[in-house]
Chains A and B, each alone.
Chain A
């Protein structure tokens, strides 16, 4: 049994240890703001881990979503809650200690069970030998897309991705419904949020120079997802983050004047509709739902290229939905639902 040293196990163990430390710290700290920041650090560490495990698309998504958007909405929420936790009361400790004991027993059992799992990075492990070699071997000939992740995401598993987009869309609606109205007699609002005028010259200058580049980069990521890491999810999140950056550097009103809320909602629904519409068009042209090869005659290309174009079209749909949902989540969570003033 020889070990290939091309995988840096020292690096992995260091990162995983730091992740465990961050996880414990995030749960142990008493200030919720610092907990939120440590959670952001945790996301960055796992992003390094993804990159090292060659999951570049996942790392891209994690960097944009986990480290950026999650941290921002955590901080946005921290304006409206008690920022310091109180010590756990002794009254309910008995049942919780029992939970810890059961948890430790389960952990020991699971750690023992790892003996039977395939070794790490084993090319002959069951997960890597049955289905996935088929995607690698046929994906390019069937969809003309060198990035296997993109072709599986938008073509072979197109249904999955479509309903993921629907889930994200539904989440934006739920956040809006939950936060928008609270009857006044029940209201016990904590007003910690600062009044922001948006007059900081350095921030405004930085925003003015970064945001256009960011938006062009987002479009590049979206359109170049066939040939490099990226695609609808990543591009959409980066585009959404550009509006969030605008709101952070100026103020919420400034961002909302440029990307109004009803337009955000139209984009949320429009992206999903575009995705489903392409699926329905394929159905109408006599193939399966989301069988992009049906578009070949319409586009005047071969069936293989039609699948490539179909992937691009649904990625645009996903990108629009994800972009709008991220902006919508930020608008609602950072302003506590009243859309007056934000983080």
Chain B
């Protein structure tokens, strides 16, 4: 029982990332509405970011900002701080993510303007005319 408990609490972050990943993929592939596809893309993206950041977590560690002792010496023990590298990658990825979202929404508005709809199959019909 203890082993099972340990197994669950040592892997649940990956499970959540994978579940969110496939929810996002479902939204992007199966939903017919382009706005839903974009929301699916946002979820898909955050699932990957969640996976990245969660591999940088360390037990008993704090935020990656150096602590100083009273005599101004920094504490440079790597196990005392969370892994800063995934944070850097994800921080920039979030800002690029909103840029991608902006471009996607601009294309969405343009499609609505040209075809009068944002439903996938109606757009295809409109294009065949």
**A residues bordering B, Cβ < 8 Å?**
1, 3-4, 6-7, 9, 12-13, 16, 19-20, 23-24, 26-27, 32, 35-36, 39, 42-43, 46, 49-50, 53-58, 61-62, 65-66, 69-70, 73-74, 76-78, 80-82, 85-86, 88-89, 91-92, 96, 99-100, 103-104, 106-107, 110-111, 114-115, 117-123, 125, 127-128, 131-133, 135-137, 139-140, 146-149, 152-153, 157, 160-161, 164, 167-168, 170-172, 174-175, 178-179, 182, 186-190, 227-229, 233, 237, 322, 325-326, 329, 332-333, 336-337
Contacts and interface: CB of A to CB of B under 8 A. Distances in A.
A127 B53 contact: no
A152 B90 CA distance: 12
Contact of B74 (A43, A119, A140, A186): A140
Contacts of B32: 85-86, 88-89
A140 B101 CA distance: 36
Contact of B94 (A54, A65, A121, A137): A65
A146 B102 CA distance: 34
B64 A147 contact: yes
Interface residues of B, number: 89
The secondary structure that dominates the A interface is helix
A148 B10 contact: no
Contacts of B117: 82
A237 B64 CA distance: 22
A73 B6 CA distance: 42
Contacts, number: 315
B68 to A, nearest CB: 8
Interface in B1-46: 6, 9-16, 18-27, 29-33, 35-36, 39-40, 42-43, 46
Contacts of A188: 112-116
Given A103-B26, A131-B85, A132-B85, A80 B109 contact: yes
Nearest to B126: A188
Given A66-B94, A153-B92, A1 B112 contact: no
